[in-house]
């Protein structure tokens, strides 16, 4: 008992002295700097720690003081936990030490991700947020053995949507600590900034991100890459010329004009290889139309353009990384609103490919705008088609926020997407495309197809995918239903509460993989 009391007294004294040193140092610093370092759990030792290479080097400059402080300041750091030390180094008044778990855990078949990478993202994120809360505005980050994952954890963890608030969180800049793999760090920053762009678009209020504003934002973000990118913001008259009756049936209830955003990224202009086609649902606000949604949580439907946000952000990231692959992005953008002009339940509309659709539920609008976009996308003879959409609440019921549901007619395409998701930790899970579901949308009283399944709620995500397949002839097509991963509460530790921007990094990693896959 005496030893325990002495240890606690020593811990209290250490923390008090550190805080005093920190406060004193701040009077001499206009730029408050911090450092995030990692420690692994030492195999076979309950309270043992193994410093990363950068942490060990830092400890050496302090003559072992960091190791000593870690021993006397409490129990060994477990994965995801962190501890802050103050005033132990003249250049870094705050040093956050984070627990990385076991070293070199690698890919976990049960979890379908690389556990080591996920541990690093979580730990670095926690450390950076601690320092941000201390109003540190510049942080150097330990690579922790994987500079890309460390960069992703830092940039994703620090993102906070406060653009419309008077009081904002401390803006923190980050850089790699030491001379580790700077190229991997920059790649990780680009991946995270891509996801953060999608989060920015999804989180913004619907009166700030209208179809026109969305298109203008993406055009601005692609401005620095104009030599490799072509942008077409198609107007309503063009949409009408294309005979996109399904898309127009959704947009007509709103005063906001629709926009069909078409992006061409020519990362490999001399290549004869067909492009990758990405299509994103772009409903900038979804009231449900005449089939009005319940008012609780309707505000979250500002993010119903999450498919378009992740697709466009992926192309911005591909351009920033100069990926050697050609990508075409399509985003049918509009609002789904009730008015005297809005589509009524039971109306029949005609899609671009001539198929007629009985619209029995105007809140099943995403599949209508995607149908016309998919028909148009086939004109480019793409290598593969991937469409992304916050399509069904049924997807959230099925998988929750654990993974994006993937419906695909191609084993090859599934393998590519799955492989990418293991690397990013933003997982995908394959769902069925049985004819069982197709019959439920083709058995229709008034038209070729019904926009909802015959049995309404049963298998809703699957019948929605079956509906989309009626507008696909390409041999390699995948539909990603991201309704379950649209927002984050506390499920992904390195993302704050709010819109998630998932699965942007997986789409980028997938495109990067195609660039090297013949």
Q: Could you tell me the domains of the chain?
A: 2-180 (3.40.220.10), 194-200+227-515 (3.40.630.10)
- Which residues face 283 on adjacent strands? 334
Alpha carbons 166 and 163: distance in angstroms, whole number: 8
pTM for this one?
Answer: 0.94
- Residue 427 confidence (pLDDT): 98
Question: Taking 70 as the threshold, does the pLDDT of residue 26 lie above it?
Answer: no
Determine if residue 297 is left, alpha or beta; phi over 0 gives left, psi from -120 to 50 gives alpha, anything else beta: left
Question: Taking 60 as the threshold, does the pLDDT of residue 5 lie above it?
Answer: no
397: number of CA atoms within 13 Å, CB side?
10
Predicted confidence band of residue 270 (pLDDT cuts 50, 70, 90): confident
DSSP-based three-state secondary structure for 267: coil
DSSP state of 186: H
Alpha carbons 86 and 98: distance in angstroms, whole number: 15
Predicted confidence band of residue 10 (pLDDT cuts 50, 70, 90): very low
Predicted confidence band of residue 32 (pLDDT cuts 50, 70, 90): confident
Question: Taking 70 as the threshold, does the pLDDT of residue 6 lie above it?
Answer: no
Residues marked as catalytic = 293, 367
Alpha carbons 406 and 388: distance in angstroms, whole number: 9
Predicted confidence band of residue 23 (pLDDT cuts 50, 70, 90): very low
CB 121 within 8 Å of CB 113: no
Question: Taking 50 as the threshold, does the pLDDT of residue 80 lie above it?
Answer: yes
Average pLDDT of the segment spanning 396-408? 98
Output the six-digit token pair for 468: 């989309």
| Burial letters 418-454, b for 16+ CB under 10 A, else e | bebbbbbbbbbebbebeeebbebbbebeebbbbbbbe
Alpha carbons 16 and 23: distance in angstroms, whole number: 11
Where is average pLDDT lowest: 19-33, 201-215, 282-296, 361-375?
Answer: 19-33
- Residue 455 confidence (pLDDT): 82
Q: What is the mean pLDDT of the chain?
A: 93
- Residue 46 confidence (pLDDT): 57
Residue 69's Cβ-count burial label (10 Å; 0-12, 13-18, 19+) is buried
Please report how the helices 460-469 and 366-377 are oriented relative to each other, as an axis angle in degrees rounded to 10. 30
Average pLDDT of the segment spanning 469-490? 98
Alpha carbons 295 and 29: distance in angstroms, whole number: 50
- Residue 4 confidence (pLDDT): 44
Average pLDDT of the segment spanning 410-434? 98
Q: Which helix (H) or strand (E) holds 185?
A: helix 182-203
Question: Taking 60 as the threshold, does the pLDDT of residue 356 lie above it?
Answer: yes
Predicted confidence band of residue 397 (pLDDT cuts 50, 70, 90): very high
Residue 338's Cβ-count burial label (10 Å; 0-12, 13-18, 19+) is middle
Output the six-digit token pair for 274: 């067909």
Average pLDDT of the segment spanning 74-80? 84
Identify the CA nearest to 35 among candidates 73, 99, 107, 88.
Answer: 88
Average pLDDT of the segment spanning 40-55? 81
Alpha carbons 24 and 17: distance in angstroms, whole number: 11
Where is average pLDDT lowest: 121-125, 168-172, 177-181, 329-333?
Answer: 177-181
Predicted confidence band of residue 47 (pLDDT cuts 50, 70, 90): low
CB 195 within 8 Å of CB 201: no
CB 80 within 8 Å of CB 126: yes
Residue 337's Cβ-count burial label (10 Å; 0-12, 13-18, 19+) is buried
Question: Taking 70 as the threshold, does the pLDDT of residue 7 lie above it?
Answer: no
Residue 496's CB is within 10 A of a number of other CB atoms, namely 21
Average pLDDT of the segment spanning 256-277? 93
- Residue 28 confidence (pLDDT): 43
Output the six-digit token pair for 186: 């920059």
Alpha carbons 329 and 273: distance in angstroms, whole number: 16
Cα 122–chain centre separation: 15
Task: State residue 83 phi and psi, 5-degree precision.
Answer: -145, 140
Alpha carbons 358 and 104: distance in angstroms, whole number: 54
CB 269 within 8 Å of CB 222: no
Average pLDDT of the segment spanning 159-172? 94
């Amino acid at each position: 008992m005496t030893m325990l009391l002495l240890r606690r007294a020593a811990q209290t004294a250490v923390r008090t002295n550190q805080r005093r040193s920190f406060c004193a140092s701040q009077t001499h610093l206009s730029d408050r700097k911090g450092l995030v370092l990692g420690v692994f759990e030492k195999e076979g030792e309950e309270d043992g720690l193994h410093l990363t290479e950068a942490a060990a080097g830092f400890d050496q400059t302090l003559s072992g003081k960091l190791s000593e402080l870690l021993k006397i300041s409490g129990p060994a750091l477990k994965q995801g936990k962190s501890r802050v030390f103050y005033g132990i180094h003249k250049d870094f008044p705050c040093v956050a030490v984070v627990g990385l778990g076991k070293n070199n855990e690698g890919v976990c078949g049960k979890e379908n991700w690389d556990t080591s990478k996920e541990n690093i993202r979580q730990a670095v994120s926690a450390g950076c947020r601690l320092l941000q809360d201390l109003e540190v505005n510049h942080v150097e980050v330990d690579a922790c053995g994987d500079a890309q994952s460390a960069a992703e954890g830092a940039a994703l963890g620090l993102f906070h949507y406060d653009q419309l608030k008077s009081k904002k969180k401390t803006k923190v800049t980050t850089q790699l600590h030491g001379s580790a793999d700077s190229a991997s760090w920059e790649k990780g920053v680009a991946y995270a900034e891509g996801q953060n762009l999608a989060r920015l678009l999804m989180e913004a209020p619907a009166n700030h991100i209208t179809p026109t504003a969305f298109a203008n934002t993406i055009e601005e973000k692609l401005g620095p890459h104009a030599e490799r990118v072509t942008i077409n913001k198609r107007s309503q008259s063009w949409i009408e010329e294309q005979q996109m009756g399904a898309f127009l049936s959704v947009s007509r209830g709103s005063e906001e004009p629709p926009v069909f955003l078409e992006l061409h990224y020519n990362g490999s202009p001399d290549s004869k290889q067909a492009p990758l086609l990405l299509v994103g649902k772009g409903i900038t606000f979804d009231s449900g139309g005449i089939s009005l949604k319940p008012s609780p949580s309707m505000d979250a439907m500002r993010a119903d353009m999450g498919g378009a946000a992740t697709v466009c952000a992926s192309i911005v990231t591909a351009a920033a990384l100069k990926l050697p692959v050609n990508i075409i992005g399509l985003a049918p953008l509009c609002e789904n609103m009730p008015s005297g002009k809005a589509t009524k339940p039971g109306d029949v509309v005609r899609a671009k490919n001539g198929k007629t659709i009985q619209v029995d539920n105007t809140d099943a609008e995403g599949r209508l705008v995607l149908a016309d976009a998919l028909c148009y996308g086939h004109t480019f003879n793409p290598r593969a088609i991937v469409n992304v959409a916050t399509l069904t609440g049924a997807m959230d019921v099925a998988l929750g926020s654990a993974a994006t549901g993937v419906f695909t007619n191609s084993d090859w395409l599934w393998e590519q997407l799955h492989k990418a998701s293991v690397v990013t930790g933003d997982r995908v899970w394959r769902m069925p495309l049985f004819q069982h579901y197709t019959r439920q949308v083709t058995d229709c009283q008034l038209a070729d197809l019904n926009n909802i399944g015959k049995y309404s709620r049963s298998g809703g995500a699957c019948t929605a995918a079956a509906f989309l397949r009626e507008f696909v002839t390409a041999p390699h097509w995948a539909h990603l239903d991201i309704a379950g991963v649209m927002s984050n509460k506390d499920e992904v530790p390195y993302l704050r509460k709010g819109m998630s921007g998932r699965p942007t990094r997986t789409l980028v990693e997938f495109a990067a993989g195609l660039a090297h896959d013949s």
